Every structure is written in C-alpha cells, then in structure tokens.
Homo-oligomer: A and B are copies of this chain.
C-alpha cells in the first residue's frame, strides 16, 4: 500500500539486501519513520516494543530475525538461541511460533554455510505467501462489496465499518479486513470506512485511519460507542473485521468490542463479515466462549492515553483517577450465529462447522477419520 504516494510493504529488505526495514508503528499516526533491523536483537526489540504488531507481521519479522542471526553466526546453537529469543518476545502470538517452526524446519538439516542464504529466501517466501493470502482475501471480499454496491438504492459511497487494525500494517501488505477495501478503492468503487477508535490501544484511530489516509481511502474516525447508532440510521452497509483466532465452528475471537458491533449489525440487518487467513483457524476448538482464554492486559493501556501534545511530542496522559482500579480484557468472542460469513484466502463461507468444512474438505476428512 502507499505511503506519501509510494508503494511499500510493512516489512521489506533494505537496499543492501541484508538489513530489514520496518515501519516504527509506535510513532504513528504522528510520525512516519522506518527503522532498519541489522541484528537479531533489533528484531526481538521491534517485536517486544510493538514497533511491529499484527500476527502475520510478527511472524514475518521473526523469520527475518532468524535470517539476521544466520548472517552473523550460522551454527546449530546460534539457530536455537535465535528461535528462543524470538519466541520469548510475544509468547501468545500463534503466527510467531508458526513462522519460527517454518524457519527451523527449513534450516536445521542444512550445513551451516548454506543457512544464511536459505534463511533469507524462506523469510522472503513467508512474506510473499502472506501478501498472496491477503490479496486473495481481498479478491473474495471485493466480490461481496461489488454485490452490495450494485444492490444499494442510494448513491454515494458504500459505507464499511471496521474495528481495530486489520490492515496492511498488521500484515506484510493489503491486510485482511482492509484488503477488500483497498482493492475496491483501487478499482474505482466509491467506498468510505467508519474507523472505530478501538480503545484502549487506539489501533483504529492511530493505525487504520493513518494507513487509509495514506492510501487515499475516504474514512472517518468514530468512538467505539458510535457504531450502533450509525447502523440504526442506515449509515453502515457492511462490517468487516479481522480475527485473532477462529474456531472450527466459526466463533471469532477478535479485539475487545467486536462482539458489540456484531450485535448491532444483527439488530439492524447489516452484514457482518470476518476476514482471516487460514492460519488463524484453530481446528481444535469448537466453542469459542468456553474454550478461548481471554488475555487480560496491563490496565495502564486504559488509564493512560498516548498522543501528541502541543509541542508535537508524543506523550502519555492519565485519564482515570489514580486510585480507581482498571480492567483490560484484550479480546472478546463473537459467536458464529452473529457472523454473516468468513472470508479466507480460499473464499467466503458460512461461519459454521459445515461452512468451514466446505472450504476445507481436507479438514473435515481429518476429523471424520480421527
């Protein structure tokens, strides 16, 4: 997607073909700055400090982190140390361990001298696969947008509501929930995005709004509280969110507050779609509410807000009484019954065991035989 008119990925090789360039997302939306990762510790720091975030991008950064380390020292012990250091950065991220398993599998049988080149190649392939998956999600979602656009009586842009950031900043390019939006925009379909601020970390206000603005997509930031009202007034044609974890029955675990928007969409007859790569489906789960533990994050994310002060510096300010306790559950579960459909790189399906079995026949064969 574009930044200042120039197409780029959220992670890419530096000009020397060895360093790895990321966007420092902690500075957005107020400052766009790239940062070059040169050694393993740059990569672990970037993930820990959330300069990169979003499951696919964390995986891609970890893969390049292994490559950076192989360049320094390609022994078995060095490979093991790199994987352990990267795994420790965000212990709960599913894509992180997936990407590191991929790197380990493709490197461990090789002689050390061959590992650097293979590591860079595999990391690049992980990035390219992510881009291809997101583009495919975009194409499938685009068909939904085109159909809705044709059916509407009114003129004016199609209004899409999204929550949190499931855009290109969370992936390598395109994004998941936003991929259909970017494709529609690039193909000349009039589209406008309602961007949920997404408290407490404000990923909507700071990241989604920024990336849509840079790419030239019409959008408006709203409080998380406003989406239901807009749906009541017919001002939302479609909701699309991402998913952090999806059960085999179509329950969706995503950023806290997603469930409330799904309820409002159902109450107002607004289609509610969830876009996700296959890698976020947890085939071992069948009941999201009962089985998915919800991460409770630091209350300071809620009690302190980061923003730009009058001097242009990014600072934190406290918004709650110092003596008031704060609770900060990071995700919620939207039951499949509230989800109109799931959009994966394979296509669109009903959010149900049967729907997913249709898109993933090899999985239903597996469970039948187990």
Q: A residues touching B (Cβ–Cβ < 8 Å)? A: 29-30, 194-195, 197-200, 202, 205-206, 209-210, 212-213, 219-230, 232, 255-257, 259-261, 263-264, 267, 289, 294, 302-310, 315-321, 323-329, 331-333
Rounded to whole angstroms, the CA-CA distance of A16 and B310 in the bound complex is: 41
Contacts of A320 in B (CB 8 A): 29, 197, 205-206, 209, 221
The count of identical subunits is: 2
Residues B257 and A225 in contact, CB atoms below 8 Å apart: yes
Rounded to whole angstroms, the CA-CA distance of A195 and B324 in the bound complex is: 10
Contacts of A259 in B (CB 8 A): 228-229, 232, 264
Residues A206 and B260 in contact, CB atoms below 8 Å apart: no
Rounded to whole angstroms, the CA-CA distance of A259 and B229 in the bound complex is: 8
A241 smallest CB distance to B (angstroms): 12
Residues A318 and B308 in contact, CB atoms below 8 Å apart: yes
Contacts of A261 in B (CB 8 A): 260
Given A213-B321, A226-B257, list of 13 further CB < 8 A pairs? A29-B324, A30-B321, A197-B320, A200-B223, A206-B319, A212-B324, A223-B256, A225-B255, A228-B260, A259-B264, A263-B263, A305-B307, A317-B317
Rounded to whole angstroms, the CA-CA distance of A328 and B229 in the bound complex is: 11
Closest to A199 in B: B223
Residues A213 and B323 in contact, CB atoms below 8 Å apart: yes
A27 smallest CB distance to B (angstroms): 12
A68 smallest CB distance to B (angstroms): 32
12 A-B contacts (beta carbon < 8 Å):
A194-B327, A209-B321, A225-B256, A226-B257, A228-B263, A228-B332, A229-B256, A232-B333, A260-B261, A260-B264, A305-B317, A307-B319
A223 smallest CB distance to B (angstroms): 4
Residues B260 and A324 in contact, CB atoms below 8 Å apart: no
Complex A-B, nearest 9 residue pairs according to Cβ-Cβ distance, in ascending order: A225-B257, A307-B317, A229-B332, A29-B321, A263-B263, A209-B324, A199-B223, A307-B319, A225-B256
A330 smallest CB distance to B (angstroms): 9
A163 smallest CB distance to B (angstroms): 8
Residues A210 and B263 in contact, CB atoms below 8 Å apart: no
Contacts of A325 in B (CB 8 A): 219-221
Residue with the highest number of chain B CB atoms closer than 10 Å, among A30, A261, A321: A321
Residue with the highest number of chain B CB atoms closer than 10 Å, among A200, A323, A324: A324
Residues B332 and A222 in contact, CB atoms below 8 Å apart: no
Rounded to whole angstroms, the CA-CA distance of A261 and B323 in the bound complex is: 26
Contact partner of A222 among B319, B321, B327, CB < 8 A?
B327
